[in-house]
Amino acid sequence: MKIAVVGTGYVGLVTGTCLAEVGNQVTCVDIDKAKVKMMRTKQVPIYEPDLENLFRRNIDEGRLRFTTSLKDGIADAAVIFLALPTPPTEDGSADLSYVLQVADNLGPLLKSYTVVVDKSTVPVGTSERVSKHLAKKAKVKFDVVSNPEFLREGFAVGDFMKPDRVVIGTNSNKARKLMKELYTPYVRQGNPIIFMDERSAEMTKYAANSFLATKISFMNEVANLAERVGANVDYVRLGIGADERIGKRFLFPGIGYGGSCFPKDVLALTQIAHEHDYDFKILEAVIDINERQRLRLVSKIMDYYGDDLESKVFAIWGLAFKPDTDDIREAPALTIIKELQTAGAKVVAYDPEAIPNVKKYFPGASNMVFAKDAYKALKGADALIIATEWSEFRTPDFELMSKQLKNPVIFDGRNLYDLDIIKTKGFYYSSIGREAIHG
């Protein structure tokens, strides 16, 4: 099938590459000229495990190409995916200007019946709005389908190739048939393609992300209380997670959720609720808890050193919002760094993949030093802060850490170390939802 993907970011590039991988002819369109230039020279503009091989192979085999021209990119495409940004506006609602602008531009370019698939996360009713924008200048028939994306950064290729489920929102039989054909290669193990109307599909995406964010905030509350009552959240997590009604996943407490999806999607759903005069109380609480949790390590640091951090230097391990990605959007590490800088401290940071993005997009980066490896970051620092659970931090050389640090002090926002092990290493160690170890 001939397919176009408009917007070649984390979702669009993975979608385009994985659609090409099963034999489709895919053209990816992006307005970012530098990005398109990079991709044309076979460089992947983002860090996503397993993407590079697939990306190169499909370019080499002539199934994947890139353009900045919408007209050129969508020529003859039977299906056009929109994987455009929907960032939060000031009031928290999703900014649809990218999606609607492309719909306006697309209308007059359609030459025969086309299915336009919305993969961006958008408020309920957006499919109808996209249809109206397309219809302004379209001379042919088209259908707009809602096909929310559930891939996780860090596992995006696997999630696309073997999805738990595919959600398709459409009331058109023709579009339904085409979408089924397109997705059948990915659900050969029997995972469902779930068909529904457009509005329910749009709501499904927000409900899924909001539920997961609620699970995280709930566990963060349990962790904070565990510290006060002298319980160990590691045991509590195992104890409740073994109940299959609760499940083992997404029960890890930490320094709050981040990334380009949870914060904005939870906000957008509360905003949708406001617009319909509904007070979505749980979600309001989820947002408050998350904002407080992002500062949990900073309050622990200030309990330890006092409020004035003027002469202190902190090493930070991890800047990305989670491991296995270079995405720093809404990363808790950046909130922590800002707070430490405001309190007068200096920061030396290390992350395996995210440093270039931090240098580019984080305003506080000009006052920071970046280290080439994890241990170099520790040299002469008063303490280490762990903000992202990259696997290379999980079994470190504690002796070398002790030698490099001015004082053996760790504030761990991701509970990387077993308390029984860390007790033997001579560190002051403070984590989330567990007793502090006093060296």
Judged by CB, which is closer to ligand NAD: 11, or 405?
Answer: 11
- Give dist(CA 201, CA 194) in Å, integer: 9
**Smallest distance from ligand NAD to CB 121, Å:** 4
Compute how many other C-beta atoms are within 10 angstroms of the C-beta atom of residue 112: 10
**Smallest distance from ligand NAD to CB 73, Å:** 9
Judged by CB, which is closer to ligand NAD: 325, or 430?
Answer: 325
Number of residues in contact with ligand NAD, rule: CB under 6 A? 27
**Smallest distance from ligand NAD to CB 253, Å:** 22
Please confirm, yes or no, whether 28 is among the known catalytic residues: no
**Smallest distance from ligand NAD to CB 13, Å:** 8
CA 342 to chain centre: 27
**Cα separations (Å) of 406 from 311, 314, 368?**
13, 10, 18
User: Cβ distance 87 to 121 under 8 Å?
Assistant: no
Which residues in 25-63 belong to E strands, given as ranges? 25-29
List all residues 6 or more positions away from 111 whose beta carbon is below 8 Å from its beta carbon.
75, 76, 140
Judged by CB, which is closer to ligand NAD: 43, or 342?
Answer: 43
Phi, psi of 9 (to 5 degrees): -95, -150
From the candidates 166, 233, 261, 378, which is the catalytic residue?
Answer: 261
Judged by CB, which is closer to ligand NAD: 64, or 401?
Answer: 64
Phi, psi of 74 (to 5 degrees): -100, 0
Regarding 120 and contact with ligand NAD (CB under 6 A), the answer is: yes
Regarding 118 and contact with ligand NAD (CB under 6 A), the answer is: no
Residue 214 is inside which H or E element, if any? Answer: helix 198-229
- Give dist(CA 324, CA 310) in Å, integer: 33
CB crowding 405-438: b at 16 or more within 10 Å, else e: beebbbbbbbbbbeeeebeebebbbbbbbbeebe
Residues 2-31 that bind ligand NAD (CB under 6 A): 6-12, 29-31
Judged by CB, which is closer to ligand NAD: 160, or 350?
Answer: 160
- Give dist(CA 12, CA 67) in Å, integer: 13
Q: Which stretch binds ligand NAD (CB under 6 A): 81-89, 293-301, 332-340, 376-384?
A: 81-89
**Smallest distance from ligand NAD to CB 412, Å:** 25
List all residues 6 or more positions away from 372 whose beta carbon is below 8 Å from its beta carbon.
350
Compute how many other C-beta atoms are within 10 angstroms of the C-beta atom of residue 149: 23
Q: Which stretch binds ligand NAD (CB under 6 A): 51-59, 147-155, 239-247, 356-364?
A: 147-155
Residue 133 is inside which H or E element, if any? Answer: helix 126-135
User: Cβ distance 133 to 102 under 8 Å?
Assistant: no
Residues 244-273 that bind ligand NAD (CB under 6 A): 260-261
Judged by CB, which is closer to ligand NAD: 324, or 412?
Answer: 324
Helix, coil or strand: residue 266 = helix
Residues 28-57 that bind ligand NAD (CB under 6 A): 29-32, 35
User: Cβ distance 6 to 82 under 8 Å?
Assistant: yes
HSE (CB half, 13 Å, CA atoms) of 275? 13
Regarding 67 and contact with ligand NAD (CB under 6 A), the answer is: no
- 370, 339, 344: which is closest to 357 by C-alpha? 370
Q: Which stretch binds ligand NAD (CB under 6 A): 55-63, 146-154, 250-258, 371-379?
A: 146-154
Judged by CB, which is closer to ligand NAD: 10, or 417?
Answer: 10
Helix, coil or strand: residue 196 = strand
**Smallest distance from ligand NAD to CB 8, Å:** 5
Residue 287 is inside which H or E element, if any? Answer: helix 281-294
Helix, coil or strand: residue 430 = strand
Q: Which of 21, 48, 143, 149 binds ligand NAD (CB under 6 A)?
A: 149
Judged by CB, which is closer to ligand NAD: 5, or 223?
Answer: 5
Residue of this chain nearest to ligand NAD (CB atom):
9
**Smallest distance from ligand NAD to CB 128, Å:** 17
Instruction: Name the token pair of 284.
Output: 């309001």
Judged by CB, which is closer to ligand NAD: 154, or 413?
Answer: 154
**Smallest distance from ligand NAD to CB 180, Å:** 21
Q: Give the x-and-dash track for 84-113 against ligand NAD (CB under 6 A).
A: xxx-----------x--xx-----------
Q: Which of 27, 93, 121, 415 binds ligand NAD (CB under 6 A)?
A: 121
Footprint on this chain of ligand NAD (rule: CB under 6 A)? 6-12, 29-32, 35, 83-86, 98, 101-102, 119-121, 149, 151, 153, 260-261
Catalytic positions are 261
